[in-house]
């Protein structure tokens, strides 16, 4: 076995290569003791990316590190070595991160793109959702955990596998490939199924909202919005920031599962079954948080091309879906009430756009001046009406 070490910002990083067997352990332990004493540090990291094998004697060395170091972690552990830590129970007492599986995107078909990344087909059974922005990698971990927990809670989702290294500093999450179309694409292809598919869509929303949970893997929807208000206020006047807080105050707490991006492009249909995808924002809260995200789509975009790109439908089809959704979700055929709900949804869609002013995605930064101008023309002058709409929905749901 070989090893190397370096000290960076009070972190001692020891890299192991080869086999930490009995003979290697006997040699490494006293040498490490010297290194440890001669390099004062606040954290110890063992990089096991090139560690091929570890014996019980090596495990004892790791155990001593755990007991003597206040901050210790083991990183980039290969699947074979990780299984040793798992079988022996070490994985329960040590902070361990597995080595990421590597995927060559040059050999994959690109099948979609967004502001922060893209989606590639890895194989006949797998796709990878790649994030280009390193600031989002913590979110990838959370998305993976949320998808798995939602599945265990009985929510129909695509199976998530693992996080992967996509080269050039990019990371992604691998999912099972769903050989089907999105809800939006399916409605666009066959508008005669509008009523049927809208009913099934609402069934999935109700299934989601019927789950009450305090699982810490899911964030708090209102707390997320509070952070958005804080970030957005940096680009607005003090008075405008206070107006955003009026909206935030009207939004309720809750313990129900909410997707927070529940539009028709995040529902896949496979063999007649609807499955949720893109669960990075899944949180606990009140159903209104999903209505806000749905309202963004139900009001369409400036052009058919934009609307199709976002939800798989053109503007004319979206308007039909909006009417159908209102009738069935709010259980009304009264033209006046349909018009009232439509007006409320028009206000809700503005919340999503204005609260996102502080986002750091490429699209937001590009269009931030236009979004702020829109907010000053249409959002802030109508703030009381929007707050009233929120309160009406909260009391009626």
Q: Which of 39, 70, 99 is the last residue of a domain?
A: 99
Q: Is the pLDDT of residue 357 over 90?
A: yes
Report pLDDT for 139: 67
Judge if 281 and 364 occupy the same domain: yes
Instruction: Give the N- to C-terminal CA distance of the chain in Å, as an integer.
Output: 64
The arithmetic mean of pLDDT across residues 329-356, rounded, is: 94
Q: Which of 153, 176, 199 is the last residue of a domain?
A: 176
Alpha-carbon distance values, 122 to 29, 112, 172, 322 (Å):
42, 13, 11, 35
DSSP helix/strand/coil, 46: strand
Judge if 89 and 146 occupy the same domain: no
The residue with tokens 């155990």 is: 63
Judge if 74 and 145 occupy the same domain: no
Report pLDDT for 116: 64
The arithmetic mean of pLDDT across residues 54-80, rounded, is: 91
Q: Is the pLDDT of residue 60 over 90?
A: yes
User: What is the DSSP pairing of strand 219-220 with strand 273-276?
Assistant: unpaired
Judge if 150 and 207 occupy the same domain: no
Judge if 91 and 118 occupy the same domain: no
Judge if 237 and 365 occupy the same domain: yes
Quickly state the pLDDT bin for 115 (edges 50, 70, 90). low
Contact 349, 247 (CB under 8 A): no
160: CATH: 3.30.200.20
Judge if 269 and 314 occupy the same domain: yes
Judge if 293 and 345 occupy the same domain: yes
When divided into structural domains, the chain yields a total of 3
Q: Which of 65, 99, 133 is the last residue of a domain?
A: 99
Nearest by Cα to 289 from 365, 225, 211, 344:
225
Judge if 73 and 144 occupy the same domain: no
Report pLDDT for 128: 86
Q: Where are the beta strands (DSSP E) in 114-202?
A: 117-121, 126-131, 160-165, 171-176, 181-182
> Percentage of the chain with pLDDT > 70?
95
The arithmetic mean of pLDDT across residues 54-83, rounded, is: 91
- For residue 30, what are the domain limits? 2-99
> Percentage of the chain with pLDDT > 90?
62
385: CATH: 3.90.1200.10
Residue predicted with more confidence, 116 or 391 = 391
Q: Is the pLDDT of residue 133 over 80?
A: no
Report pLDDT for 341: 96
The arithmetic mean of pLDDT across residues 95-106, rounded, is: 86
pLDDT for 141-199, tens place per residue?
777 788 889 988 999 887 766 778 888 878 888 877 766 788 999 999 999 999 999 99
What string of DSSP letters covers 294-329?
HHHHHT--SSHHHHHHHHSS-HHHHHHHHHHHHHHH
Residue predicted with more confidence, 365 or 233 = 233
Rounded to two decimals, the pTM is 0.75
The rounded distance, in Å, linking the Cα atoms of 298 and 327 is 13
Judge if 172 and 186 occupy the same domain: no
70: CATH: 3.30.750.24
The arithmetic mean of pLDDT across residues 108-132, rounded, is: 79
Judge if 203 and 310 occupy the same domain: yes
Judge if 197 and 332 occupy the same domain: yes
């Amino acid at each position: 076995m070989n090893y190397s070490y370096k000290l960076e910002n009070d972190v001692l990083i020891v890299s192991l290569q080869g086999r930490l067997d009995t003979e290697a352990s006997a040699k490494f332990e006293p040498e490490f003791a010297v290194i440890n004493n001669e390099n004062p540090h606040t954290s110890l990291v063992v990089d096991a990316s090139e560690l091929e094998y570890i014996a019980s004697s090596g495990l004892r060395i790791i155990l001593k590190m755990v007991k003597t170091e206040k901050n210790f972690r083991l990183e980039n552990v290969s699947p074979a070595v990780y299984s040793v830590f798992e079988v022996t129970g070490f994985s329960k007492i040590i902070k361990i991160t597995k080595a990421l599986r590597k995927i060559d995107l040059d050999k994959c078909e690109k099948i979609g793109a967004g502001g922060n990344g893209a989606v590639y087909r890895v194989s006949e059974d797998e796709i990878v959702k790649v994030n280009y922005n390193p600031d989002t990698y913590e979110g990838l971990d959370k998305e993976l955990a949320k998808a798995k927990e939602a599945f265990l809670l009985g929510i129909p989702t695509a199976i998530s596998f693992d996080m992967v290294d996509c080269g050039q500093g990019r990371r992604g999450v691998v999912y099972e490939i769903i050989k089907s179309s999105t809800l939006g694409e399916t409605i666009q292809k066959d508008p005669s199924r509008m009523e049927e598919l809208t009913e099934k869509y609402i069934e999935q929303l109700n299934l989601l909202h019927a789950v009450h949970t305090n699982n810490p893997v899911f964030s708090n929807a209102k707390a997320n919005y509070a952070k958005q208000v804080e970030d957005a206020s940096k680009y607005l006047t003090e008075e405008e920031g206070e107006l955003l807080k009026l909206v935030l105050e009207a939004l309720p707490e809750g313990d129900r599962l909410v997707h927070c991006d529940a539009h028709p492009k995040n529902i896949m249909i496979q063999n007649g079954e609807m499955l949720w995808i893109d669960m990075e924002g899944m949180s606990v809260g009140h159903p209104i948080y999903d209505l806000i995200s749905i309202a963004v789509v139900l009001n369409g975009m400036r052009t058919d091309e934009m609307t199709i790109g976002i939800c798989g439908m053109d503007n004319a089809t979206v308007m039909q879906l909006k009417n159908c959704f209102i009738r069935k979700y709010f259980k009304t055929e009264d033209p006046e009430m349909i018009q009232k709900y439509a007006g409320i949804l028009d206000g809700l869609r503005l919340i999503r756009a204005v609260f996102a002013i502080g986002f750091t995605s490429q699209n937001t930064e590009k269009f931030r001046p236009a979004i702020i101008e829109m907010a000053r023309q249409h959002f802030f002058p109508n703030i009381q009406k929007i707050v009233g709409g929120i309160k009406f929905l909260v009391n009626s749901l």
